[in-house]
Amino acid sequence: MSMTPRPPIPSFIPESAPFTPEQRTWLNGLLAGLFGLQESITPLSTAEAAKLLPGLLEAPAAPADEEDGAPWHDPAMPLPERMKLAEAKPLPRRLMAAMGQQDCGQCGYNCKEYAGALFAKSEKRLNLCVPGGKDTARMLKELYRELDGAPATLPAQAAPTPAKSAPVSPLGRSRDNPVYASFLSRRRLNKPGSEKETWHIDIDLAGTDLDYVVGDSFGMFPANDQDLVAAVLAAIEAPPDFPIAERTLSEVLTDGVSLSPAPDMLFQLISYLTGGERRQTAKRLAAGEDPDGDAATLDVLAALHKFPGVRPDPEAFIEALDPLQPRLYSISSSPKTNPTRISLTVDSVRYEVDKRTRFGVCSTFLGNRIAPGDRISVYVQKAPHFALPDDPAKPIIMIGPGTGIAPFRAFLHERQAVNAPGRNWLFFGHQRSGYDFFYEDELVAMRSSGLLTRLTLAWSRDSDQKIYVQHRMREVGRDFWSWLNDGAHIYVCGDALRMAKDVETALVDIIAEHGGCAPAEAVRFLGELKAKDRYQTDVY
């Protein structure tokens, strides 16, 4: 089952039309389905719909390709399986199945919209899907060939510029039209001794005209680590000031291109510059094969080291690389507290491969490299389906281990600022209580003041036993169910691949056990909560 927030249902029915709100919602969903704008046309069963809208059910059925329910829309499903499920579907559906299925918005669309834009050729960039990575880019390239014999392009140039025919969005409201903001400060959220390095980041929005609401994400264009840039320059034996258009090679390597996974085109370029066995290896890597079992670990520098002595022309080298993509972070502050200061909660990604530490480009840019006063290119990414309930009296349950706490800090600050009477329950967890209790003072104070009605904690490395948020949810399943019955909205934020799936399973089990129903019914119930925006996720 998909766990990502759905895009908003557009409104086709005028407010003056003689329908109840439920009828209007259902009709809008139906029409969105018919027009191909929404995956699921309605949360209601046919019988329920018939009760609500007698006579309207004779409306023409949605086109077949929209009735498929997008069974591949699961971020944990491997690409070959997704493509198999979409095999007999029209091209836009197969394009969609090739995406990472997170609807994360990093490409500037959700998965279905990105597929639609490629199909309509209003978007030509095939390498925008961050969660899908190289596998998605390769599959899109293959599928794109079906489009009237259109040339498959993997544009290399790096810039936050829009595709030619894409409409330009308002300043600072999308990756295609960012603005500059100033970095203010960082503060480490873990205590010394933690295995994690997580930062509370503050950014000054003054003078940007940007506004946001809690639940939105913040996008930014990072810069590559200067040591890595220097190592790449050394590997290709090129001077940093080599001119590339109106910039220098060093500048383009800093903020223009991704130095992370080596793209197929780089191996293709290398294959032209080598011979014999090395050429065959490069060709196989360019075709997505893994001749030496190390393909997944080859970033640009490792790829150059694998073929020592290859000295590509700097211009051709840059053209063979992927553009440096922006990254998104859930906003962890409320504009009601301070409208011009935005906070983020960022985990520094670091891992070792072959004795070289690899650094996540944007998280370590924020965590280590940027200095107070530096300007960053940013934008606000709206999250219309990750928002507090309109009614401030509604109870909310927030499940956010690790950096998943970010939007919930924002929610709590907002509910505090507006004196919302609704109850608030937070499930937070991380590795160790003594080191990784982010915002401990704030949360404890909120608990004491009563703002936080309940705070349930899960520490995965305090004992031999892994305790995760979903274990705690099950322990208090009866109370969880009672909050749900009181109309609580449920929110999940954090890791998409493991946590969100396991939390969803726990939710289904709690509903089945305490609601006294079969698992299939519990799944349907959860689907209805999701359709009513009472179950919302922001996972990555």
Ligand X SMILES: Cc1cc2nc3c(=O)[nH]c(=O)nc-3n(C[C@H](O)[C@H](O)[C@H](O)COP(=O)(O)OP(=O)(O)OC[C@H]3O[C@@H](n4cnc5c(N)ncnc54)[C@H](O)[C@@H]3O)c2cc1C
Own/partner long-range contacts of 280-289 (Cβ < 8 Å, ≥24 apart): 282/307, 288/134, 288/135, 288/138, 288/264
Which lies closer to ligand NAP via its Cβ, residue 4 or residue 460? 460
Binding segment for ligand NAP (CB under 6 A), chosen from 48-56, 62-70, 160-168, 466-474, is: 466-474
Count of chain residues binding ligand NAP (CB under 6 A): 24
Return the one option of ligand X, ligand NAP, none that residue 494 interacts with (CB less than 5 to 8 A, by type): ligand NAP
Interacting residues with ligand X (CB under 6 A)? 104-106, 217, 260, 327-330, 345-347, 349, 351, 360-363, 403, 406, 538, 540
- The answer to the question of residue 218 lying near ligand NAP (CB under 6 A) is no
User: Parallel, antiparallel, or unpaired for β 243-244 and 247-248?
Assistant: antiparallel
- The answer to the question of residue 460 lying near ligand NAP (CB under 6 A) is yes
- The answer to the question of residue 407 lying near ligand NAP (CB under 6 A) is no
Own/partner long-range contacts of 282-285 (Cβ < 8 Å, ≥24 apart): 282/307
First to last CA, the chain: 16
**In the beta sheet, which residues pair with residue 331?**
344
Return the one option of ligand NAP, ligand X, none that residue 499 interacts with (CB less than 5 to 8 A, by type): ligand NAP
- The answer to the question of residue 198 lying near ligand NAP (CB under 6 A) is yes
Angle between helices 499-515 and 477-485 (to 10 degrees): 80
Which lies closer to ligand NAP via its Cβ, residue 42 or residue 343? 343
Which lies closer to ligand NAP via its Cβ, residue 311 or residue 498? 498
Return the one option of ligand X, ligand NAP, none that residue 217 interacts with (CB less than 5 to 8 A, by type): ligand X
Which lies closer to ligand X via its Cβ, residue 47 or residue 351? 351
Return the one option of ligand NAP, ligand X, none that residue 431 interacts with (CB less than 5 to 8 A, by type): ligand NAP
Residue 99 phi, psi (nearest 5): -75, 170
Binding segment for ligand NAP (CB under 6 A), chosen from 316-324, 465-473, 474-482, 484-492, is: 465-473
Contact 135, 127 (CB under 8 A): no
Q: Which of 468, 480, 483, 535 binds ligand NAP (CB under 6 A)?
A: 468
Give one DSSP letter per residue of 107-141, joined into a string: TSS-HHHHHHHHHTTS---S---TTTHHHHHHHHH
Binding segment for ligand NAP (CB under 6 A), chosen from 225-233, 384-392, 467-475, 508-516, is: 467-475
Residue 236 CA to chain centroid, in angstroms? 34
- The answer to the question of residue 505 lying near ligand NAP (CB under 6 A) is no
**In the beta sheet, which residues pair with residue 489?**
396
Helices marked H in 335-382: 361-364
- The answer to the question of residue 349 lying near ligand NAP (CB under 6 A) is yes
Tokens matching residue 15? 């407010």
The residue number whose beta carbon is nearest to ligand NAP equals 402
Tokens matching residue 471? 């274990």
Q: Which conformational region is residue 60 in: left (phi greater than 0), alpha (psi within -120 to 50 degrees), or beta?
A: beta
- The answer to the question of residue 296 lying near ligand NAP (CB under 6 A) is no
**In the beta sheet, which residues pair with residue 234?**
none
Which lies closer to ligand X via its Cβ, residue 70 or residue 223? 223
- Comparing CA positions, the residue from 391, 233, 225 lying closest to residue 317 is 233
Q: Return the SS3 of 397.
A: strand
- What is the nearest approach in angstroms of ligand X to the Cβ of residue 347? 4
- The answer to the question of residue 113 lying near ligand NAP (CB under 6 A) is no
**In the beta sheet, which residues pair with residue 181?**
376
Measured between alpha carbons, how far is 308 from 52 in angstroms, rounded to an integer?
70
- What is the nearest approach in angstroms of ligand NAP to the Cβ of residue 194? 10
Site for ligand NAP in 418-447 (CB under 6 A): 429-431
Applying CB under 6 A, the residues found at the interface with ligand NAP are 196, 198, 347, 349, 401-404, 429-431, 460-461, 466, 468-470, 494-495, 497-499, 502, 540
